[in-house]
């Protein structure tokens, strides 16, 4: 992972990373993966038209969005999207976009759903990211956000025993490693309200993220136990991971979706749309920025 220094805000880039294999497949995270699948299943609508998966990575969660007609996988890393392509294929159901969440390359009010799982914790300016998500969602759209919880039980105990300096009860984020942030639940609630999201459900996830426990108890059993406790998130949030199901503000609205996916885009540099389609790129007629389309991936990253 690298930080893009030429960007106004630093970006956590997984270019060239084997994160899917090293962290999820060989990293002993089967329990966390199954627990997250349960939370998603409980919060997702049973059907939908167009879903935006923010921080899609190698497509770990994408097959879980079974009720949606089309899915846009967005990640800053081309290599992560290439891994997603290898997993999911080049079906017309999937659109692969390399882009910056702070400058989403989509027209306003395009999507009727979005997810951001294990991604906000890399956002130095979380509020700016949430504003962009709200911009591209229709009124009444579903937004499922997962965040790393600063006020988790382990952090509280470590702070009480003076084994960590930062206070888990203060509202500001804590950067525990470069471009890795934990957030206070109340801060998240405040930012969602500021960006015109109504919280409909909160689920606490990964209650049993303890190395010894995961080694001796099968992941499927831990996940079923986690499912039992997840609704407690409506009352308190003490787990390292929290899922929030939100509704975008305004009267529910469904507008005709442009038939040509290239009409879904706007220039991330100047916000102009539509873009001009050329053989292997999209060009902005307003600022003359060129955005390549190579190997099935639209690339809107800043240059």
Q: What is the pTM of this model?
A: 0.95
Q: What are phi and psi of 263, to 5 degrees?
A: -80, -5
CA-to-CA dists, residue 270 to 81, 98, 274, angstroms = 25, 17, 12
Q: Which long-range contacts (CB under 8 A, 24 or more apart) does 251-255 make?
A: 251/139, 251/140, 252/138, 252/139, 252/140, 253/109, 253/138, 253/139, 253/140, 254/49, 254/112, 254/138, 255/109, 255/138
pLDDT at 302: 87
What are the backbone dihedrals phi and psi of residue 140, each rounded to the nearest 5 degrees, phi first?
85, 0
Collect the ranges in the chain with pLDDT lower than 50.
Answer: 2-6
Q: Do residues 2 and 16 touch, judged by C-beta distance below 8 A? A: no
Apex CA 126: angle with CA 268 and CA 46, to 5°? 80
Strand 197-205, strand 281-283: pairing: unpaired
The C-alpha angle with vertex 149 and arms to 172 and 231, in degrees rounded to 5, equals 135
Q: Which long-range contacts link 20-23 to residues 24+ away (Cβ below 8 Å)?
A: 20/57, 20/58, 20/60, 20/80, 20/83
pLDDT score of 5: 43
CA distance 240 to 5: 29
CATH C-level class of 2-260: alpha beta
State residue 7's pLDDT score: 58
């Amino acid at each position: 992972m690298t930080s893009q220094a030429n960007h106004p805000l630093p970006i956590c880039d997984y270019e060239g990373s084997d994160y899917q294999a090293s962290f999820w497949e060989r990293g002993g995270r089967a329990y966390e993966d199954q627990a997250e699948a349960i939370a998603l299943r409980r919060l997702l609508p049973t059907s939908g038209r167009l879903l935006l998966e923010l921080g899609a990575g190698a497509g770990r969660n994408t097959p879980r969005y079974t009720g949606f007609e089309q899915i846009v996988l967005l990640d800053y890393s081309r290599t992560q999207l290439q891994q997603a392509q290898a997993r999911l294929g080049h079906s017309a159901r999937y659109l692969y976009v390399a882009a910056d969440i702070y400058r989403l390359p989509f027209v306003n009010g395009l999507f009727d759903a979005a997810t951001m799982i294990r991604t906000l914790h890399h956002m130095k300016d979380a509020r700016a990211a949430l504003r962009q998500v709200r911009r591209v969602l229709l009124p009444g759209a579903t937004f499922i956000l997962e965040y790393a919880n600063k006020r988790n039980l382990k952090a509280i105990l470590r702070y009480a025993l003076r084994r960590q300096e930062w206070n888990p009860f203060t509202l500001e984020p804590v950067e525990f490693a470069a471009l890795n942030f934990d957030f206070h639940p109340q801060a998240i609630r405040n930012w969602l309200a500021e960006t015109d999201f109504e919280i409909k459900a909160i689920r606490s996830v990964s209650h049993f993220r303890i190395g010894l426990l995961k080694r001796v108890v099968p992941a499927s059993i831990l996940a079923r136990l986690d499912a039992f406790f997840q609704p407690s998130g409506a009352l308190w949030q003490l787990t390292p991971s929290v899922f929030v199901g939100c509704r975008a503000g305004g009267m529910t609205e469904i507008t005709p979706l442009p038939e040509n996916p290239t009409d879904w885009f706007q220039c991330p540099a100047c916000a102009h749309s539509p873009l001009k389609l050329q053989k292997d790129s999209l060009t902005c007629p307003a600022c003359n920025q060129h955005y390549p389309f190579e190997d099935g991936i639209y690339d809107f990253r800043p240059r």
